[in-house]
Amino acid sequence: MHPQLPAAGVDWAATLTHARTGAPPLPGRRPVLLYSPGGGDARTMGASLAVDLASYGWTVLTVDHPGDASEVEFPDERPGRERVRPTALHGPPDAPAFRTMIDTRVADLRFVLDALGLTRVGVYGHSAGGTAAAQALHEDRRIAAVVNLEGYLDQMDGELLPVARQGTDRPLLLVGTDGFRDAQLDRSWVALLAHAGPVARRQLDDTAHWVFTDYAALVPQLHRAGLMTAAGRAAMVGRADPRGTVPAVRRLVRSFFARHLPR
């Protein structure tokens, strides 16, 4: 899915984080945030932002979408279902596939709300995850606020999603980059912004699409190590220093939810 990345020379499993399994929860109730990753990406590529939000008091649930994420391991085996399901995406989706992809992601997010009995949550997502998060806000009143990290608000054939056509009465933040911005994205976002409602737009300059993921910190290191070209780095995360971009993304998302879904 990311041809700019090196085919060898990287031990991804050796990446260190500030999270660990089995950590005991602190007592008390906390607001819940759901994260939906980009198309073909695993939820683990959003670990840095999720850990940051959790460290400030939110409970963060990251969602993998089976058949969409790079791979999903189920907790058990069932007849007719493999233990690990790889992605069905092997290139940019066409309009019917994209429609199915977003509809399925919205259903996945609503399934999580149903399964856990959640009644008021925030959702943030990257790329297709941002698209799904915005549309889920439109379809489900249990979602109180959403951050869309550079997800289109239309179908691949240009048809606007219902959230862009009709607007929203709940807070929605649109965050994009100058490196990925195009006429299609502008058209769908402007359509939503034209409605009266609590919608805002922000842009990070000298950045590109995957600056909202863990690649923001990892790709510059691969470039410095000679494992990626400067052009590959720029295409994925832009040329800006991760010491600026990583905190900037965290602040944008954190400050939004601090206003609209406070701890």
> From the first residue on, what is the mean pLDDT of each consecutive set of 10 residues in the chain (263 residues)?
87 82 85 95 93 95 91 86 85 88 96 97 98 98 98 93 97 98 96 96 98 97 95 97 98 98 89
Non-local (6+) Cβ contacts of 31 within 8 A are 57, 58, 59, 120, 121, 122, 257, 261, 262, 263
Helix (H, G, I), strand (E, B) or coil at 157: coil
Contact (Cβ atoms closer than 8 angstroms) between residue 112 and residue 125? no
Report the greatest alpha carbon distance in the chain: 50
- The pLDDT of residue 43 is 92
Instruction: Give the H or E element holding residue 84.
Output: strand 84-86
> Beta strand pairing status for 84-86 and 121-126?
unpaired
**CATH code for the part of the protein at 30-213+248-260:** 3.40.50.1820
CA distance 118 to 124: 16
- The pLDDT of residue 190 is 97
Contact (Cβ atoms closer than 8 angstroms) between residue 123 and residue 151? no
- The pLDDT of residue 54 is 94
Global pTM reads 0.94
CA distance 54 to 171: 21
Q: Where are the domains of the chain?
A: 30-213+248-260
